[in-house]
Amino acid sequence: MRELLEEVIVPAFKFNKVGGGIGLPEMDDGASILVDGKSIVITTDASTVKPLFFPGGDIGKLAICGAVNDLSMMGAEPLAVASTITAEEGLLIGTLRRVVESMNRVLEEVEIPLIAGDTKVVERGGLDQILLNTTGLGITENPITDSGLKPGNKIIISGTIGNHQLALLSMREGLKFESPLESDIAPLWEMIERALDVGGVTAMKDPTRGGVSGALNDMSRKSGVDVILQEDAIPMSGVVRRASEMIGLDPLELANEGVAVIGVDGEKVERVLKAIRKSKYGTNAEIVGEVTEGSGRVIIETYIGGRRIVREPYGSPMPRIC
Amino acid sequence: MRELLEEVIVPAFKFNKVGGGIGLPEMDDGASILVDGKSIVITTDASTVKPLFFPGGDIGKLAICGAVNDLSMMGAEPLAVASTITAEEGLLIGTLRRVVESMNRVLEEVEIPLIAGDTKVVERGGLDQILLNTTGLGITENPITDSGLKPGNKIIISGTIGNHQLALLSMREGLKFESPLESDIAPLWEMIERALDVGGVTAMKDPTRGGVSGALNDMSRKSGVDVILQEDAIPMSGVVRRASEMIGLDPLELANEGVAVIGVDGEKVERVLKAIRKSKYGTNAEIVGEVTEGSGRVIIETYIGGRRIVREPYGSPMPRIC
C-alpha cells in the first residue's frame, strides 16, 4: 500500500500543500493550513473494520477515535469532525442507530461536535453494511510532525500494545485465548494535551496499521535518526505476548487504536511520562527506548541481550482492521 | 434519505456545531468554524457514481468538483481538499491512475491542493471498484447559507439543467437520445467568486441529487419564503427537454454537477448575472424567478400560463448518480 501511495497516488497530485503547511508529500497523520499564525489541521480516514461490532468497540467508535487521535498526533486540539456514511442496501436501521449512537458517545466524552456529513447508499456487496469516513479539524500553534525526532530524545509508548488487532482476529477466526481480549480503542486527546502542556514532545504517531514497528520506522526514516528499543520495556499484556507467539505474529506489527508513540526531549521525559500516566488511557505508559544519530533504522535490544533490526512490516497481514 | 437523516442520524449527535458556526442541524452544503473572525468552512461527501467513467467526467472529477462546489455554495474560497480512496480488491492500477489523474486535472484547473488522504482496500462487491470521499476546506468572512432568501430576491440558475443525470442514465441503460448527452460536471468557484465580487448574493445551493426542485424547496423552506419560477426562463437544452419527457422524468428533479441556484438581491441581479455569464461555466445563466413572502413553497408558472407547486422530489429515483 505504501508503494501504491508513493508511486501512483501521491505523485499524481501536483498541488499538494498550502503555503508553508504540512501537505501530502509528508504523509503524516494529517495536513495543516496556516490561518493568521495558527495551523488549522485536517485529517481524513476511511473506516472499513470487520466485523462492525467487536470486543471493546465498533466502527462508529473507531471512526471518531481515528479522527481525534490523528489530530492529537499532530499536536492539534480537535475542534470538530465531519463524517460520511456509505450504507449498503438493506442495512438495518437498528444497526445504523447503534453505530451513530456509538459515534456520539465518543464525541460526548471528548466534547467535540460533529458538524457536517453526507450519506450514500450502494448495492449490497463487500462493505459489510457500512463504511464510515471521518474528517477531523483541529488547531494548534505548533504542529508536531513525524520527522521531529532528535538524538537524545526518549520514546514513550502510552499503553499496552496489540490488543486491537488480536481482539478482531480472535472474533473473526473464532480463536480462544487464555482470557478474552478487548480492543484498546480510545480517544487520546486528553492524554496528549497533558503531555503537550509539560512540553518537550518532538514527534508523535499512533501505531495503527503496521503497529509500533510501522510507526517507529516512519518516524526514524523521516527524522533521519535511529531508534533503539528495549524489548523488556514495551508495555504488553501476558495474553497478547503469548497469543501472538502462538499465532506467529510480531506484536510490534499489530494494529492499535488507543496507543501513542511519542518522542520526547530527554530532560523532560520523566515529567511527560508522569503526565501521561495520570490520564485515563495512559496508565500503562512506559519509556521504551531512545533516539540516536543514525539513518532511519529501528533496533531492538531483546530480552536475551541480542540486537535486531525491526523492519517495516511488509504487505498487509490482515485487511479490514481499521 | 432526508427522513433517515432527520430522524436517526442528525438527532443522534448532541454536540453538532462549534460556537456560532454553521453545524449539522442546518443541513447546509457545509459547516463553519469561526477562527479569529473568519469562518473556516468544511464540506465532506462520499462519491459512489456508477459507472466510474461517464460522458463528460468520472468519479475523480466528480469528487473534486463536489468539494469545490459545496465550498463555493457556502461562499467560501476553497483552500484545500483531502480525500480517501476505498478500493476493491482487484482494482486495476491503470483505473486508479486514471481516477487520480482526473482528480489532479480539476485541482490544477482551480489551483487547489490535495493535502491529506487515506487509502483502504475492501473485498470485491457493491462498490464498482472504487469509492472516493472528499473533504473541502475553505475560508470566508461571510458564509452564505441556504436560509438567506428574502422577498424581492431574484433566482439565477447558472447553466442548463439535467445533463448530468441524463448522461449517466443513457450510458447505464443504453438509451440513445437524438444527440449524445454529456454531464455538466464542473468546478464552479471562479463563477461564484465573480458573483460574490459584485455582491448581493443571499443564498446558494448546487442542485445535485434532487435537482433544482430539491435545492429550491430546501432554500425556500429554510428561508421561510416562497419561490416563483418561470418555466420558460429555465435554461435547458432541447435534447434534455425532449429526453426527459420521453422517459417521464421531471427535468427539475434531475441531478446536476456543474450548476448553481443563486438567490440575489433584486437590485443587483442584472450585474450578478452579467458577471456569471462571463465565467467559463456560466455562459447559459438565466434569471428564472423571484422570491416572495410565503411559507416555503416553490411554485412554477408554466409555459401555458398555469401555476403548479413544485414538490420536493420523493424518494431516490436513481442510485449512484453522485
pLDDT of B20 reads 87
| Mutate which: B4, B114, B132, B141, vs A, most A CBs within 10 A | B114
Look at B40 and A40 and tell me if their CB atoms are within 8 Å: yes
Cell of B54: 461517464
Say whether pLDDT at B126 is over 80. no
3-state SS, residue B196? helix
Contacts of B79 in chain A (CB under 8 A): 18, 33
Contact at CB, A12 and B100, closer than 8 angstroms: yes
Write out pLDDT tens, residues B234-244. 999 999 999 99
Question: Do the chains contact at B14 and A100, CB–CB below 8 Å?
Answer: no
pLDDT at A126: 67
Under 8 Å between Cβ of A112 and A79: yes
Confidence grade of residue A116 (pLDDT, cut at 50, 70, 90): very high
B residues 125..154 contacting A (CB < 8 A) = 125-127, 131, 133, 135, 137, 139
Give the model's confidence band at B125: pLDDT under 50 very low, under 70 low, under 90 confident, else very high: confident
pLDDT digits (tens, 9 = 90+) for A157-188: 999 999 999 999 999 988 888 888 999 999 99
Size of interface A-B (CB pairs under 8 A): 246
The 3-state secondary structure of A247-264 reads: HCCCHHHCCCCCCCEEEE
Q: Is residue A199 scored above 90 in pLDDT? A: yes
| pLDDT tens digits along A38-61 | 999 999 999 999 899 999 999 999
Instruction: Tally Cβ neighbours within 10 Å of residue A3.
Output: 8
pLDDT at residue number A262: 98
Q: What is the predicted pLDDT for the residue at A315?
A: 66
Cell of A178: 487464555
Residue of B5, B88, B137 lying closest to A42 (CB–CB): B137
Span B4-58, pLDDT tens digits:
777 889 999 999 999 889 999 999 999 999 998 899 999 999 999 989 999 999 9
Q: How far is A65 from chain B (nearest CA, A)?
A: 15
- The whole-number average pLDDT for the span A106-128 is 89
Sign of CA dihedral A306, A307, A309, A313: positive
Predicted ipTM beyond 0.85: yes
Query: How confident is the model over A136-149, as pLDDT tens digits?
Result: 999 999 999 999 99
Inter-residue contact A183 to A168 (CB < 8 Å)? yes
The reply to whether residue B15 touches residue A101, judged by beta carbons under 8 angstroms, is: no
Predicted pLDDT at B317: 62
Q: At residue A99, what is the residue type?
A: V
B5 Cβ under 8 Å from any chain A Cβ: yes
Whole-prediction pTM: 0.95
Q: Does A3 touch chain B (CB under 8 A)?
A: no
Question: Residue B82: which of A9, A12, A31 has the nearest Cβ?
Answer: A31
Contact at CB, A101 and B12, closer than 8 angstroms = yes
